[in-house]
Amino acid sequence: MSDYEKFKELDPQEVHKKTFISPRVIANLQNENFKKLGTKAKALGFVKIIERELHLDLRELREKIEEYFSDNLDYNSAFIIKEKSVAQSFAFGSLLKILIFVIILIGGFFVYHDFIKKDNNPPPAVQPVVDENITQHVEKISEPSSEQNATVSNESGTKIEEESSTSSEENVTSVQAASQSSEEISLDLENNETNSSGASQEVTLPHITIIPKKRIWLGIIYLDNYRRKMYSTARPIELNTSRDQLILTGHGAFFFDIDGKKVDYNLTGKGKFIYRAGELEKLDTKTFKEYNRGRVW
């Protein structure tokens, strides 16, 4: 029989007496009801304590916990980022198209306006005269004028064609820039999806700070090596939540800030606490001494 099977047959109350873990938590581990344990860090922390106190190898249980939490990742944030990025990309592309259209419209208006202005200002007409000599002279004068008008018309047409060609080249350049921008946005979208998926797999420990209402003496005993650390201060003290520890205070005029939430135990004397597997718990003197190998401090 494996250690895991032996653990499943143990009475949760008996396990609680040796590990001080809630019988409800032990029952959830035995029944593989990992959803009620909250996070992967808490579940693995409980298993580590049970292995250490009962001298069991629960590798199989740890693998089941790893598999459960890896299969139940929350991808909603990644989908939200993707939808938002796609929407921003679409809005940017639409705005760019509208801007290009407005530029073309304004350019065409000025070209058309110049053309109409020139067309509405023909050279002055020659008054008819009865004298043939004068008429012939006027005709000779009119011929160069007509040629000049034709030249001006040709120059205007050439100018319009050149401006239209320049405008078309600018439009092509703008479309290419928009395409390149869309590709960059698409790459950013893929990076956001990758970063979001990686971030969802990280285990977050609680952020715990002790905030004294007046100067306080504080002692910490780390349970992995039983080394002690002492403070005497009126400033907030941030705990290292990556390590299990016992906490002893000189008075009760303080409160905990746990992930931005105020927790005040309203103590009248010294405070005794234990932090393990991501959870903070108040202890009595007897239980504190049991964790501290029979010592008060």
Q: For residue 30, how many other CB atoms are within 10 A of its CB?
A: 16
Residue after which a domain boundary falls, among 47, 71, 95? 71
Q: pLDDT tens digit string along 165-180? A: 444 445 444 445 444 5
Res 36 pLDDT > 60: yes
Same-domain status, 66 and 83: no
Residue 140 belongs to some domain of the structure: yes
Confirm if 263 and 26 have CB atoms less than 8 A apart: no
Residue after which a domain boundary falls, among 164, 182, 200? 200
Number of domains in the chain: 3
Q: Where are the beta strands (DSSP E) in 163-285?
A: 208-212, 216-222, 228-233, 237-238, 245-249, 254-258, 261-263, 271-276, 279-282
Q: For residue 4, how many other CB atoms are within 10 A of its CB?
A: 17
Q: Which residue has the higher pLDDT, 34 or 109?
A: 34
Same-domain status, 43 and 94: no
Confidence of residue 111 (pLDDT cuts 50, 70, 90): confident
Same-domain status, 111 and 218: no
| CB < 8 Å & 24+ apart, contacts of 100-104 | 100/171, 100/174, 100/175, 103/167, 103/170, 104/167, 104/171
For residue 261, the model assigns a pLDDT of: 95
- Host domain of residue 277: 208-291
Distance from C-alpha of 216 to C-alpha of 121, rounded to nearest angstrom: 95
Same-domain status, 153 and 213: no
Task: For Cα atoms 64, 259, 222, give the angle at the middle one, nearest 5 degrees.
Answer: 70
For a pLDDT cut of 70, what percent of the chain falls above it? 63
Same-domain status, 167 and 228: no
Residue 296 belongs to some domain of the structure: no
Same-domain status, 259 and 214: yes
Res 135 pLDDT > 50: no
Q: For residue 54, what are the β-bridge partners?
A: none
Q: What is the mean pLDDT of residues 253-266?
A: 94
